[in-house]
Chains A and B, each alone.
Chain A
Amino acid sequence: MPSVKPLRVSDETQTQTSVGTITQRPWNVIVWDDPVTPMSVVVVIFRKIFGYPNNKATQLMLTVHHEGRAIVWSGSLDRAQGYCVKLQVAGLLSTIERDS
């Protein structure tokens, strides 16, 4: 699966580096496949929640479909939890896990 670069975490990383903070392992937001959710719905949800362009949202949706799961965002714990909740509110099966 292609790596997913978080949209805004890069700014946080730069800020942390500039003040000498040790970078911690990020938290990944995972979306899991199911046998019924239409692909186009998953794309719409990724575009809406993360602001991803259509190509990236489609690429992530296909990763979910073919591999059973995909990392859709990585970054701080607070924001990962927030995104996980948004995905669940939108009806997708999502979890968070510490990057290995």
Chain B
Amino acid sequence: MAARIFVRRRDGRIEVRLNEDARAIVREAFAHVLAAETDPEHEWHASLNGPIDPSHDVDDPLATLNRQSEVSSNVELAVVSLAEDFLNDGEAWAWLCTLQIALRATITAKGIISNERLEDADEDTRDYIKTLQTLLFGLADVM
């Protein structure tokens, strides 16, 4: 049985069991999403803009978090909590959203709109997608 990469502890926190290589992949994905939010030239930028402006979300899901003063978006919270060994629920949600956005931005940028296109994608792209999916599976399992 494969080792779990996220573990829910008795105190409610989520333990992150990623080695440095895995954290580097997560760090890169978060950095791309952060850059794509502000850089119109970024390959992922188009996929981050839906038909409705995300800034209309006035509920501010980060409001209850201690690190709220430092961040204003999920990806910013994900970035500042990147080195943490334990995540609270808000941080785990930010990780999940950011990894999911990285996944969808990847397939959008590569034109992968079907299972057939996915099978035809180059090996590096498929490996990257599988890595993001593995992280998302692990995170969803403890949420």
Contacts and interface: CB of A to CB of B under 8 A. Distances in A.
B114 interface: yes
Nearest to A78: B56
B141 A40 contact: yes
Interface residues of A, number: 25
A52 B138 CA distance: 21
> What is the size category of the interface that chain B forms with chain A?
35 or more
B140 A81 contact: no
Contact of A92 (B74, B100, B114, B136): B100
A41 interface: yes
B93 A37 contact: no
B82 interface: no
Interface in A3-52: 34-38, 40-41, 43-45, 48
Given A38-B137, A38-B140, A89-B54, A44 B96 contact: yes
Contact of A35 (B53, B57, B100, B115): B115
Contacts of B97: 89-91
Contacts of A45: 96, 100
Main SS of chain B's interface residues?
A: helix
A91 B56 contact: no
Interface in A46-88: 48, 81-82, 84-86, 88
A85 B140 CA distance: 20
Contacts of B35: none
Contacts of B118: 35-36
B45 to A, nearest CB: 14
Interface of A: 34-38, 40-41, 43-45, 48, 81-82, 84-86, 88-96
The 8 A-B residue pairs with the shortest CB-CB distance, nearest first, are A91-B100, A40-B140, A88-B50, A91-B101, A85-B57, A44-B140, A41-B140, A90-B97
